[in-house]
Chains A and B, each alone.
Chain A
Amino acid sequence: MAATVTSLVTATEHDPDRCGSEEETRGAEAEDIDQPQQQTAPAAAVSHSRLSKLPLARIKALMKTDPDVALASQESVFIIAKATELFVEMIAKDALVYAQQGKRKTLQRKDLDNAIEAIDEFAFLEGKLCKDCGGKKM
């Protein structure tokens, strides 16, 4: 799924005109653009992951479970994917504060719970996370 999405992006990147504008915005990762066009998943995945690490198809499938949602533009799916990435970063960092308070270097579930309780932005999560998610492999 991710491979299908990412392989399409490489089609643009061997065009030097396109590369120019992309290099300005891509910063340190610009050297990837100079690689010859490859259809292999890893090279394509690198270039696409700069925009979104989370697979858009999966995000869209999640959005689809809402019965009130009829259509969503590709851009909206992308922005939600990106926002989710930022959210994961944010909650991990905020939970870390509690782990450090407990003099631990390992983030634990209770640190998440503390962060959710303490931080207003995470109020929507209260009661939403299953206590003991048995069966879900990580």
Chain B
Amino acid sequence: MAERPEDLNLPNAVITRIIKEALPDGVNVSKEARRAISQAASVFVLYATSCANNFAMKAKRKTLNAGDVLAAMEEMEFERFLEPLREALEVYKKGQKGKKEVSEQKRKEKEKKANSENDKSREDEGEEEDEPMEEEAENEAEAEEEVEN
């Protein structure tokens, strides 16, 4: 299903919440300003993606990775984002690793019950990270469900 950039907006409630939390109490935001910020955020995603993709292509990679995005932030003069982004990435990676280890444990237990002699060692993480972009957005949920299995 082809979706044009104009059709995709980030959820208004979330954008509003981010704005409210960034500003001091007592400050209001007009509807037009909120709409404009939401639009700006979408443009930001597209611009950052394009910039990051350039780095990936330069490195002859077909998959955008976190490093490409960080390089894009520098290129776009958003160096101030680098430190908080790196920290958030660490937390995210730990969470992902935890998810995989839990799902691996579940898988092991299942197989133990089935075979009762299975001695597979844990696989390394990293396989699930690349996701084909041409598939539907729902596939992200499916891919993560695979991890859970």
Contact = CB atoms under 8 A, between A and B. Distances in A.
A15 B64 contact: no
Nearest to A89: B22
A106 B65 contact: no
A31 interface: no
Interface in B56-86: 57, 62-66, 68-70, 73, 76-78, 80-81, 84-85
Contact of B63 (A51, A66, A73): A73
B50 A55 contact: no
Contacts of A59: 10, 45
B67 to A, nearest CB: 9
Interface in A96-135: 96, 99, 105-109, 111-112, 116, 120-122, 124-125, 128-130, 133
State the main secondary structure of chain B at its contact with A. helix
Size category, B interface: 35 or more
A34 interface: no
A87 B18 CA distance: 10
State the main secondary structure of chain A at its contact with B. helix
A15 B140 contact: no
Contacts of B49: 62-63, 66, 69, 72, 80
A70 B62 contact: yes
Given A83-B69, A84-B45, A105 B26 contact: yes
Contacts of A122: 40
A73 B89 contact: no
B11 A54 contact: yes
Contacts of A111: 33
Interface of B: 3-5, 8-12, 14-19, 21-23, 26-50, 52-53, 57, 62-66, 68-70, 73, 76-78, 80-81, 84-85, 87-96, 98-99, 102-103, 128-134, 137-138, 140-141, 144-145, 147-148
- Minimum-distance CB pairs A-B, first 6: A12-B98, A89-B22, A72-B64, A109-B32, A71-B63, A75-B66
